[in-house]
Structure 1
Amino acid sequence: MAEARRAAVLGSPIAHSLSPVLHRAAYRELGLGDWSYDRFEVEEAALPAFVDGLGASWAGLSLTMPLKRAVIPLLDEVTATAASVEAVNTVVFTADGRRVGDNTDIPGMIAAMRERGVEKVESAAVLGAGATASSALAALSLICTGPVTAYVRSAARAQEMRGWGERLGVDVRTADWAEAAGAFDAPLVIATTPAGTTDALAAAVPDAPGTLFDVLYEPWPTPLATAWQSRGGAVVGGLDLLVHQAVLQVEQMTGSSPAPLAAMREAGERALASR
């Protein structure tokens, strides 16, 4: 009989996380009946003891805020992708006991956009300047051939985004949030801000806009996404990102590939609809 394996998502707050729904759906589809996936409320200060206390049955961890940077000193290896943004959302425990950290948000973003037909763009705009914005810049470094304009609320945030641009090889230009409607001229707009932040911009969406990637999945659709679609634009949503990054996590943790994208998305949609 195969050894039962464990995985989980850690963070704070964590009760809202859809990761258990997505990973368990994958296990069912892959026939991994002896695998389990849970969620644990873990603050940054408690993370070292939690990780050190995990036994040999553990295959991997998913990490959300505020743990994506805090976990790095606890790892034996960090992939180049994760190091590029100093953020780890995936830890895999290898057969020889090593802890390997990766970031599946970045390739997950690229896969979600590719699914909607976005392969390359000549320019882009990013709304916001938090951790998700740096991941967006990392994704854009691979698909955007020209400048990226980041719309931010402070000079400090503008400096941060320009710094990430230099590090990632992206020509980042910054503009004040008050001018954020100017973002809609770009062929690709990535909204990385918390719920409600972009609601007031919905009225400024032009006819025939390009592609909007709104990283929120709850509440969905956002007013911005609704306005975008009503004016003929393509929309990539936060559930698309969540599912694509989870697909990569499942593949890394279980060694089974490809992970069942359609079944995972369906499970996520059902879970959101029932909330």
Structure 2
Amino acid sequence: MPSTRRAAVLGSPIAHSLSPVLHRAAYAALGLDTWTYDRFEVDEAGLPGFVEGLDESWAGLSLTMPLKRAIIPLLDAISDTAASVEAVNTVVLTEDGRRVGDNTDIPGLVAALRERGVEKVDSAAILGAGATASSALAALSRICAGPVTAYVRSEARAEEMRGWGERLGVDVRTADWAHADRAFAAPLVIATTPAGATDALAAEVPDAPGTLFDVLYHPWPTPLAAAWSERGGAVLGGLDLLVHQAVLQVEQMTGVAEAPLAAMRAAGERALAAT
């Protein structure tokens, strides 16, 4: 085993990634002085060459857009969780040279909700229908007993979400984005849209709403999250997801039983406050 162990996050664009902050904080708290974690600007065209160039010092990779699907053909195996949404955000490089892919976004989302006391809901709503929405659906398949309504902007997106629902065993119903404020009656709302997309909905948040999980983390809070909190609802943000999925990555890559969640979150909060 090499004395120095390497890990990194790959993607494009990658300069904004908080993953190095979180993983380095974990290494520091765990006393893993010979571990390093970096970021590399890698697009789909450059991914095969990067992966082939990894030597035995490498322990793992984190993948962000646009590589979560592109990495799959380059792996020896992927977990059932990753296969369920055709997306890998974590690669562990084993001692025998195998590349094994997983998806920690899904259990990370579940863990973040559990930390806030949300373990089961009777129904839920999703705002948006992009790549993050499929991971949200996969997470809801574990905690939602009833229907999930996805609010989308086109019939093509609606069909896509219903397809994911069939695949994941979730009763997915779709509704037009024009009626997205109706989502707020659900006990759990997961907003998976880009920055600015839900700003106009902030004025529609009712009194005493349920739980909002807005996957954005910068700028924070979003207008929707701020309005939700002002009206007494529970709010989780993108940093909650980022930290919980990173905790699972650290555990898989290093082999430690329990990654330092508090230290990682504190490091992420400091980094965001400095931007």
Question: What is the Cα deviation at residue 2 of structure 1?
Answer: 6.6
Q: Secondary structure at the match of 1:83?
A: helix
| Unpaired segments ≥5 residues, structure 2 | none
1:86-105 map, 5 Å: 86-105=86-105
1:79 aligns with 2:118: no
Give the aligned residue type for 1:59: A
Query: What's the counterpart of residue 139 of structure 1?
Result: 139
RMSD: 0.8
2: CA distance between counterparts of 1:193 and 1:202?
14
Taking structure 1 as the reference length, what is the TM-score of the superposition? 0.99
Displacement over 3 Å in runs of 4+: none
2: CA distance between counterparts of 1:119 and 1:34?
37
Q: Secondary structure at the match of 2:46?
A: helix
1:191 aligns with 2:215: no
Q: Judge conservation of contact 1:2–1:34 (CA < 8 Å) in 2.
A: no
1:159-174 map, 5 Å: 159-174=159-174
1:205-224 map, 5 Å: 205-224=205-224
Query: What's the counterpart of residue 128 of structure 1?
Result: 128
Percent of residue pairs identical: 83
Q: Secondary structure at the match of 1:44?
A: coil
Give the aligned residue type for 1:5: R
Q: Secondary structure at the match of 2:134?
A: helix
Deviations 1:114-137 (A, max 9, x none): 011100000000000001000000
Query: What's the counterpart of residue 29 of structure 1?
Result: 29
Question: What is the Cα deviation at residue 158 of structure 1?
Answer: 0.1
2: CA distance between counterparts of 1:88 and 1:221?
28
Query: What's the counterpart of residue 153 of structure 1?
Result: 153
| Unpaired segments ≥5 residues, structure 1 | none
2: CA distance between counterparts of 1:257 and 1:216?
29
Give the aligned length.
Answer: 275
Q: Secondary structure at the match of 1:190?
A: strand
Q: Secondary structure at the match of 2:235?
A: strand
Question: What is the Cα deviation at residue 171 of structure 1?
Answer: 0.2
Give the aligned residue type for 1:76: D
